[in-house]
Amino acid sequence: MRKNIVAGNWKMNLVSSEAKMLLSELDKFQDDGVVKIVFPPSIFIQEALTNTNLKVGAQNFYPKEKGAFTGEVSMTQLKDIGVSYVLVGHSERRMYFSESEAFLKEKVNAALSVGLKVVFCCGEPLDIRESNQELSYVKQQLKDSLFHLSEDEVKNCIIAYEPIWAIGTGKTASVEQAEDMHASIRSWVKEQYGTLVSEELSILYGGSCNAKNAKELFSCPNVDGGLIGGASLDHEAFVSIAKSF
């Protein structure tokens, strides 16, 4: 059975006092039917692990166990302190830090090797959507960086679809567009791993999901929750989204 999930990606936001207050408020909301994950900046991960019952993830890591990689954090270090999830392939990591499909594949492998769960992000930019190539584009992302995994490995993954063209552009992805892509992703997982795996894998929507549109989005057959950006910084909005299933 697929899990309903709301994952809050805080990105590079908040200072310590704000992070502590947000975590405290989020921790008050209890619903066993919804998996709640927070992806705070790395300096707030320990606070989340120590003082809440939330699932905690890391926004980024370097795919080596240890070494001379100044400024980086390894998947081994994250696992050691109690982190459960990692984001891989987020559009901002691809865009601003030039993370290639080959590098993302390496990160997926590294995370799974130490028992971390992967939230793998995929999605197309505006020019690809306007040229009607979005399906082949997203399918190739999955083939390049995720579909090399074994059946057991992919069971420890979540896919998050980000329509990049609908984030901060003034354009809006319709519920139908979201469901069409999610249904396609599930069909590709089915082709690769079979019906059982495809029906158990959660696919999240990451295109400006908020308290106003979450209920309609989550009612789609193939949308199992959201990867939430800006709305995850407001505890009332995030809780409202979590209540939208």
Closest by Cα among 223, 224, 134 to 179:
223
Please compute the mean of the pLDDT values over residues 92-111 and round it to a whole number.
98
Question: How is residue 162 annotated by DSSP?
Answer: -
> Could you read off the pLDDT of 21-56 as tens digits, one per residue?
999 999 999 888 999 999 999 999 999 999 999 999
- Distance, CA of 83 to CA of 159 (rounded, Å): 18
Which residue among 134, 162, 182, 235 is the active-site one?
162
pLDDT (0 to 100) of residue 170: 61
Which residue among 90, 92, 99, 235 is the active-site one?
90
* Whether residue 182 lies in the annotated active site: no
CA angle 224, 228, 229 (to 5 degrees): 160
pLDDT (0 to 100) of residue 125: 94
- Average pLDDT over the chain, rounded to an integer: 96
Are 28 and 1 a contacting pair, CB within 8 Å? Answer: no
What distances in angstroms separate CA 31 from CA 22, 209, 220, 230, one per listed residue? 17, 20, 21, 22
Phi, psi of 62 (to 5 degrees): -105, 135
3-class state of residue 208 by DSSP: coil
pLDDT (0 to 100) of residue 185: 98
Please compute the mean of the pLDDT values over residues 140-151 and round it to a whole number.
98
Are 37 and 55 a contacting pair, CB within 8 Å? Answer: yes
pLDDT (0 to 100) of residue 147: 98
3-class state of residue 178 by DSSP: helix
Question: How is residue 74 annotated by DSSP?
Answer: B
Question: How is residue 3 annotated by DSSP?
Answer: P
pLDDT (0 to 100) of residue 208: 84
> Could you read off the pLDDT of 162-210 as tens digits, one per residue?
999 988 676 778 999 999 999 999 999 999 999 999 999 999 999 889 9
Closest by Cα among 3, 8, 2 to 31:
3
Task: Determine what percent of the chain is predicted with pLDDT higher than 70.
Answer: 98
pLDDT (0 to 100) of residue 59: 98
* Whether residue 90 lies in the annotated active site: yes
- Please name each of the domains of the chain with its CATH number: 4-242 (3.20.20.70)
- Is the entire prediction scored with pTM above 0.85? yes
pLDDT (0 to 100) of residue 221: 97
